[in-house]
Amino acid sequence: MVNAYKFLASGAVGLFSRHKWPTPAGGVPGEWVRVEGELRPCLSGIHACSASRLVDWLDEELWEIELGAPVLEDDGELLAPAGRLLRRIDGWDEGCARAFLSHCLDSTIVLAAESLSRVGRERDAQQLTASRWGPDSERSVLELARSFEDDPASPLLFLADVTRLERGGRPELPDVAPAADAGGPTPFALAANLGYVCAHITAQLAEQESAGSYEERFLGERLSQSRWLAHRLLLHG
Amino acid sequence: MLTCRQIYDLLTEYDEGGLTTSERRQFESHVVICPPCRGFVSQMRLTRDLLGDGSAPGLPPELEDSIVGAFQTWKQRRW
Amino acid sequence: MRESNEKLRHGPAHVPSQPTSVEGDLLVRLQAGDEEAFRGLLADLGPAMLRVADFYSRDSQVAAEIVQETWVAVLRSLDAFEGRSSLRTWVFTILANCARRRAKSEARSAPFSSLDGGAREESELNRFFAANHPRWASCWATINTRWEALPEEALSRAEADAAMIETLRALPPNHSVVITLRDIEGWSSQEVSTLLRITPGNQRVLLHRARLAVRRALEQTLDGERRL
């Protein structure tokens, strides 16, 4: 019996259903939520995920959920006629979301730097790592962006975008400093979005190097991201 | 994976059940990881909520009286 | 207040969307000249009828006349009504016919050009990166904040309602009628498609465009407030 998890928007609300879930209190699980009728993925039924698919559904709150039989499983995606929330995974908070994103970006930059080294572009590799860990990384990332201007589809330019987005920047508006009250994305939103983009960049690099198909590499990277998060949150299954 | 532009174009189809299961899955996968699309979806939801909470104001009394008058005339002519 | 809104949203309890035995009873009472039944029907359908007539005529006096003419026509054909459609679909069909007849006879060339609505949608499309952008193809270029609820301090309920209705009045009438009947009055997709004699798919397109227009109007009003 695989453990099941569910991300919800703040207030224990389903993102698409807008259904407010009954939450556990005093050690007692939340009430059962049941759905009548045939189970149909994305249409009808209680949806949840296993620990291997966390990153596909990142949102503000993470809950462990118990599903009622029969539980249909499709590659880590779970569907059941009933569910109840068991406990909130408190470890998933803004700090964790930031740490997750930071990890994704670190991994992707290392992979990209190694990829550059392998083809003899040592200087580019150094410029890339400096944009992340160098003493004047703000300036470095802009230089990086400028260096690869002529190759606008370059994964490195993409990485420069992501690095700046992580810091609250707007890559399409290079001269605008991020405004504090601009209503920009939350750490959860950034984690969801940029985690995806990092996997995309990694897969692009693999494809460029003919080191596997984009699809395989992308899914592999997402799996790896989910595993990191599951470990970090001490989740099982 | 759908683009933001497709989310923008397809939201009503999604809500009205006009997408296939596979399309729904792609739609949701995108929205989940895309902050501006999430914002857009929530904005459209609130827009619909506000519309749904509203109602047309009652008929102006003169118009109502006039129509009821027509009913009374009709009724008299019949009976 | 909320209760009566609920009634209007989901159809008044005694005028259901599908012909039923309850509606059958109402019909019998109407045909028998029951004034209370008629007043009830008028109260339930009248307000939405006036609004729809206004979308067609863009003139409150003409709209009132259209509604009046409609009810006269309803009464005239009441005995012949067989109940194949719901009462309200039937009444609104007559309304739509009256409205169109009035529009023709007054040779009104209302500015229903697709350019008008199209132009505004154009400016919205600028908010996306180009489809051939190398990294962010067709992505939003703007931040869209989440609207959890109407920020009452920025925009009162009355102001929001006014902005929405003004927007609807500026749309081509098929758009405004679809969104009014679906989202404000709570009609089903099938009912509206039947009334306007369009496919459900076509109806969804009109509904989508209308909803986008209302959202834009709310956003402008909200943004306008924030800038102050």
Which of residues A49 and A146 earns the better pLDDT score? A49
Neighbouring CB atoms inside 10 A of C5's CB total 15
Task: Show Cβ contacts of residue C18 under 8 Å, excluding neighbours closer than 6 positions.
Answer: C86
A59 — contact with chain B (CB < 8 Å)? yes
Give me the pLDDT at residue A237, please: 61
Would the pLDDT of C10 be above 60?
no
Q: Provide the β-strand partners of residue A82.
A: A34
Between CA A195 and CA A54 the distance in angstroms is 11
**pLDDT band at residue C16 using 50, 70 and 90 as cut-offs:** low
Is C143 within 8 Å of A183 when comparing Cβ atoms? Answer: yes
A16/B28 Cβ within 8 A: yes
Which residues, in sequence order, are bridge partners of residue A65? A4, A85
Q: Do B35 and A189 make contact, defined as CB atoms within 8 angstroms?
A: yes
Judge whether A59 is closer than 8 Å to chain C, CB to CB.
no
Nearest to A183 among C134, C136, C145 (CB): C145
Each residue of B29-57: b (16+ CB within 10 Å) or e?
A: bbbbbbbbbbbbbbbbbbbbebbbbbbbe
pLDDT class of B40 with cuts at 50, 70, 90: very high
| Of B22 and C124, more confident | B22
Which residue of B lies nearest to A215 if distances are taken between CA atoms? B1
| Residue C59 CB coordination number (10 Å) | 16
Q: What's the ipTM? A: 0.93
Tokens of A66: 């118990």
Residues C37-52 pLDDT 10s: 999 999 999 999 999 9
Q: Mean pLDDT over all residues of chain A?
A: 88
DSSP code of C130? -
CB pairs under 8 A between A and C: 17
Q: Which residue has the higher pLDDT, C45 or A153?
A: C45
Please state the rounded mean pLDDT for residues C6-35.
67
Q: Report the distance separating Cα C52 and Cα C127, nearest Å.
A: 32
Contact between B36 and C5 using a beta-carbon 8 Å cutoff: no
The confidence score (pLDDT) of residue C11 equals 38
Tell me the pairing of strands A61-67 and A77-80: unpaired
Residue C2 has pLDDT above 80, yes or no: no
Is the pLDDT at C227 greater than 50, yes or no?
no
Lowest mean pLDDT among A167-181, A215-229, C80-94, C175-189: A167-181
Q: A208 or C190, which is more confident?
A: C190
Helix axes A94-118, A214-232, angle to 10 degrees: 140
Three-class secondary structure of residue C166 per DSSP = helix
The residue with tokens 């330019």 is A157
User: Above 50 in pLDDT, residue C119?
Assistant: no
The secondary structure of chain C in percent helix, strand, coil, rounded to multiples of 5, reads: 70, 0, 30
B21 contacts on A by Cβ (under 8 Å): 40-43
Task: Name the neighbours of A, counting chains with at least 3 Cβ pairs within 8 A.
Answer: B, C
Question: With 50 as the cut, is the pLDDT of residue A152 above it?
Answer: yes
CB contact under 8 A, B28 and A40: no
| Contact assignment for B35 to A192 by CB distance below 8 Å | yes
Position C228 scores a pLDDT of: 31
Check: CB of residue A148 under 8 Å from CB of residue A157: yes
Percent share of chain C, pLDDT over 70? 80
Residue of A16, A79, A166, A194 to mutate, interface with B, max B Cβ within 10 Å:
A16
Confidence of residue C224 (pLDDT cuts 50, 70, 90): low
Q: Grade residue A182 by pLDDT with cuts at 50, 70 and 90.
A: low
Residues of chain C with C-beta less than 8 angstroms from the C-beta of A152: 134-135
How far apart CA A39 and CA C164 sit, in angstroms, is 38
Query: Is C67 an 8 Å CB contact of chain B?
Result: yes
pLDDT at B64 over 80: yes
How many alpha carbons lie under 13 Å from residue A38 in its C-beta half-sphere? Answer: 3
Interface check for A153 against chain C (CB to CB < 8 A): the answer is yes
The radius of gyration of chain A from alpha carbons, rounded to an integer in Å, stands at 20
For chains A and B, count residue pairs whose Cβ atoms are closer than 8 Å: 37
What is the average per-residue pLDDT within C21-26? Answer: 82
CA of C135 vs chain A CAs: smallest distance (Å): 6
Cβ of residue C143 closer than 8 Å to a chain A Cβ = yes
Pairwise CA distance, residues A213 & A230, whole Å:
26
Residue A207: pLDDT over 60? yes
pLDDT 10s digits, A155-171:
888 888 898 888 877 76
B48 Cβ under 8 Å from any chain A Cβ: no
pLDDT of C6 over the 90 cut: no
- pLDDT (tens digit per residue) in C183-216: 999 999 999 999 999 999 999 999 999 999 999 9
Residue A66 in 3-state DSSP? Answer: strand
8 A C-beta contact, residue C99 and residue C57: yes
In this predicted structure, the answer to whether residue B19 has a pLDDT above a threshold of 60 is yes
pLDDT given for residue C221 in this prediction = 75
Q: Is C141 on the interface with A (CB under 8 A)?
A: yes
| Bond before A70 cis per omega within 30 degrees | yes
